[in-house]
Structure 1
Amino acid sequence: MAVASEDNVYHSSNATYRALGSPHKADQEALLGKLLDYPAPGLQRPEDRFNGAYIIFFSLGIGGLLPWNFFVTAKEYWAFKLRNCSSLASGMDSEDTDILNYFESYLAVASTVPSLLCLAANFLLVNRVQVHVRVLASLSVSLAIFVVMIVLVKVDTSSWTRGFFTVTIVCMAIVSGSSTIFNSSVYGLTGSFPMRNAQALISGGAMGGTISAVASLVDLAASSDVRDSALAFFLTAAVFLGICVGLYLLLPRLEYARYYMRPVAPVHIFSGEDSPSQDAPGTYSVAPGSRVVHTPPLGPILKKTAGLGFCTIFLYLITALIFPAISTNIQSMHKGTGSPWTSKFFVPLTVFLLFNFADLCGRQVTVWIQVPGPRSKVLPGLALLRVCLVPLFLLCNYQPRSHLTVVLFQSDIYPVLFTCLLGLSNGYLTTLVLIYGPKIVPRELAEATGVVMSFYMSVGLMLGSACAALLEHFI
């Protein structure tokens, strides 16, 4: 039985590969070395009319992170609900106090652990469950969770504070896990498209952070009721998740998207001494001893992406080390003047909004400039160079400080400049490594490679957060 040429292999949720232990390892390595953008014979590439696919991927990028950002942004709402929202009684026991004081740490754990587990599960499901099933299921789960949170906003939880805490942590874990499956699946899907679509998805994530920061500032300036602001956050997230469902269903209707999403014939593996015979150039025959493998070959993917993986981990490590743990503790040198701009709005403006906007700008630059390349030694060099940003932030007016007493940069302009540099470098370099990843492997491995690159990113964020907690004790 003849199967399609490798030149015809694009994106598939059912692609299969040679076994790692087979005698055809050299053939497999050659397969991994093929370029992804090699055109299929006999087919003319359609244009992305009106940038429809680009806009859809950009919107999906927003939808992938906006719900999580809004979940975390509603800090005042969680504090309000967890200190007995009706009576605001002061007589809390030690367990209630522990929940209130360490709530953000609990949220971080509830966010990180499910993400790593769901990334591993998504890698195993790449060839077992079609990508559209995983995307739509994850969006539906996230939407259901936000409907629950909207209902709880109007429910008096003062009599079951600990129960509400448990429900919140469980909801956070589910949202984090479903968002991870959604983001890694759509990111893997963009591996079958030209790189501009992966760039759109990644830039959309930065736009989600910017929208969240703007919403937080507006809420800080105008809102008088934390429940109303939380309700607005959760409703906005739910509406946008619904929009993402509609946009994803619209994507296959675009001729441009159908060209890159079309299914392919599965690639069979061969056992024993059987080997494929070539009937014609670019066409393979399946030997009697062939079988199907449902798990992508992790070893070759890790080997092929090792350099980009190191850059991804280190870039996100430095970013998570500084933002938000270190940068949010930098105070204005004029905080004592009583001006709201140097006290109430200083951190939201100079940290959250400025960083997210600079990050978005850095990611957008990759539309026009894509240097250095994926195999350039300059790329890991630039990643390592970002470690210089750590002492620059520490030498600003970080408070409180007990061991490092020197404040070298005694002007508010310095944390603004350093935050811009942090955001721009993070946006530009991380976008480069993430769009390169699925492009240095063949199309049938692009989705699995996207999941692996997401795993690198999660590892970097986890290490950065852990290092930040340690560093704060030495300042």
Structure 2
Amino acid sequence: SANLYFIVSIVVMVICIVFYNMAHRLPVIKYYNELKIQVVNEEKEEKGVMAGVIWKSTLSEIVGRVKWYGLGILIIYVVTLCIFPGYITEDVHSQILKDWYPILLITGYNVFDLVGKSLTALYFIENAKVAVGASFARLLFLPLFLGCLHGPEFFRTEIPVTVLTCLLGLTNGYLTSVLMILAPKTVQFQHAETAGIVIVLFLVVGLTAGSVVSWFWVI
């Protein structure tokens, strides 16, 4: 029911807030916070307190270093939101699964998205060019899913759509994690947090652009 849905969501949010506020007590977090403070203090001793012009120059340099990672993430979410969930819920149908079809596709996407995010613990792409290139290669999902609408009869059946949806989720989760991890490593340690914020801004732009473009699929 709707009440159960919101109750579960609220419980999960509360748990996340509690864990977030407890995270700073972990030894690894304390270590990196202390390391950051030390590096920042050393930088202040060398360069003095950053004035507005210097900070703008530093920010510009950070953006320049992470822009390709950011564009990769932007493309990831434009492609994903072009297809999911609008296309999945509105454009594909199954005579066998009926109303369960979009539910199963959405479940499959989310499960494989989680698997993709977790895969970085087992295998991680260190090569930035490969990671960014793979993000742009996801544009191939657009003609493939279009083929599931207007292509040969087999492409319009449940199996190809399900496989593509799961691959969409898997690559979305994995490549997002990889690029989010790689981007802050391209700048000095004390600027890693700023680089992360810049990457998140690219992500937000991707989410917005993808949501707008997705209307073309639904319409």
Provide TM-score, normalisation by structure 1. 0.41
Other-structure match for 1:248: 20
Other-structure match for 2:181: 435
1:413 to 159, 169, 183: 159
Code of the aligned partner of 1:380: V
Code of the aligned partner of 1:305: V
Other-structure match for 1:345: 100
Label 1:299 to 1:345 Cα distance change in 2 as closer, same or farther (>3 A): same
The answer to whether the 8 Å contact 1:359/1:423 transfers is: yes
CA RMSD of aligned residues (A): 2.7
Other-structure match for 1:463: 209
Other-structure match for 2:85: 324
The answer to whether the 8 Å contact 1:358/1:424 transfers is: yes
Q: Tell me, in whole angstroms, the C-alpha distance in 1 between the residues paired with 2:164 and 2:86.
A: 15
Give the structure with the larger helix fraction. 2
Q: Could you tell me how far 1:445 is from its partner in structure 2?
A: 1.1
In the alignment, structure 1 segments of 5+ residues that lack a partner are 1-228, 269-281, 336-341, 399-403
Label 1:444 to 1:424 Cα distance change in 2 as closer, same or farther (>3 A): same
The answer to whether the 8 Å contact 1:326/1:394 transfers is: no
Q: Could you tell me how far 1:325 is from its partner in structure 2?
A: 1.5
Label 1:283 to 1:467 Cα distance change in 2 as closer, same or farther (>3 A): closer
Q: Could you tell me how far 1:311 is from its partner in structure 2?
A: 1.0
Q: Could you tell me how far 1:429 is from its partner in structure 2?
A: 1.2
Query: What secondary structure, in the 3-state scheme, does the structure 2 residue paired with 1:358 have?
Result: helix
2:25 matches 1:264: no
Label 1:395 to 1:329 Cα distance change in 2 as closer, same or farther (>3 A): farther
Label 1:445 to 1:345 Cα distance change in 2 as closer, same or farther (>3 A): same
Q: Could you tell me how far 1:265 is from its partner in structure 2?
A: 5.1
Q: Deviations over 1:184-204 (max 9, x none)?
A: xxxxxxxxxxxxxxxxxxxxx
Q: Tell me, in whole angstroms, the C-alpha distance in 1 between the residues paired with 2:71 and 2:192.
A: 18
Other-structure match for 2:8: 236
Other-structure match for 2:65: 304
Code of the aligned partner of 2:28: Y
Q: Tell me, in whole angstroms, the C-alpha distance in 1 between the residues paired with 2:211 and 2:33.
A: 37
Q: Tell me, in whole angstroms, the C-alpha distance in 2 between the residues paired with 1:313 and 1:370.
A: 20
Q: Deviations over 1:237-296 (max 9, x none)?
A: 33333323332332233223211122615848xxxxxxxxxxxxx898468xx4444867
Other-structure match for 1:393: 145
Q: Tell me, in whole angstroms, the C-alpha distance in 2 between the residues paired with 1:381 and 1:237.
A: 35
Q: Could you tell me how far 1:415 is from its partner in structure 2?
A: 0.6
Q: Tell me, in whole angstroms, the C-alpha distance in 2 between the residues paired with 1:372 and 1:322.
A: 28
Code of the aligned partner of 1:466: V
Q: Could you tell me how far 1:345 is from its partner in structure 2?
A: 1.1
2:43 matches 1:314: no
Which residues of 2 match residues 12-411 of structure 1 at below 5 A? 229-262=1-34, 264=37, 267=40, 285=45, 290-293=48-51, 297-335=58-96, 342-350=97-105, 352-374=106-128, 376=129, 378-396=130-148, 398=149, 409-411=155-157
Label 1:328 to 1:446 Cα distance change in 2 as closer, same or farther (>3 A): same
Q: Could you tell me how far 1:372 is from its partner in structure 2?
A: 4.6
Label 1:251 to 1:392 Cα distance change in 2 as closer, same or farther (>3 A): same
The answer to whether the 8 Å contact 1:395/1:408 transfers is: no
Q: Could you tell me how far 1:426 is from its partner in structure 2?
A: 1.2
Q: Tell me, in whole angstroms, the C-alpha distance in 2 between the residues paired with 1:250 and 1:405.
A: 52
Q: Deviations over 1:418-454 (max 9, x none)?
A: 1111111111111111111112112211111111111
Label 1:237 to 1:330 Cα distance change in 2 as closer, same or farther (>3 A): same
Q: Tell me, in whole angstroms, the C-alpha distance in 2 between the residues paired with 1:434 and 1:360.
A: 15
Label 1:391 to 1:284 Cα distance change in 2 as closer, same or farther (>3 A): closer
Q: Tell me, in whole angstroms, the C-alpha distance in 2 between the residues paired with 1:410 and 1:241.
A: 38
Label 1:471 to 1:240 Cα distance change in 2 as closer, same or farther (>3 A): closer
2:191 to 435, 445, 449: 445
In the alignment, structure 2 segments of 5+ residues that lack a partner are none
Q: Tell me, in whole angstroms, the C-alpha distance in 1 between the residues paired with 2:207 and 2:168.
A: 15
The answer to whether the 8 Å contact 1:321/1:464 transfers is: yes
Q: How many residues align?
A: 215
The answer to whether the 8 Å contact 1:316/1:460 transfers is: yes
Q: Could you tell me how far 1:365 is from its partner in structure 2?
A: 1.2
Provide TM-score, normalisation by structure 2. 0.84
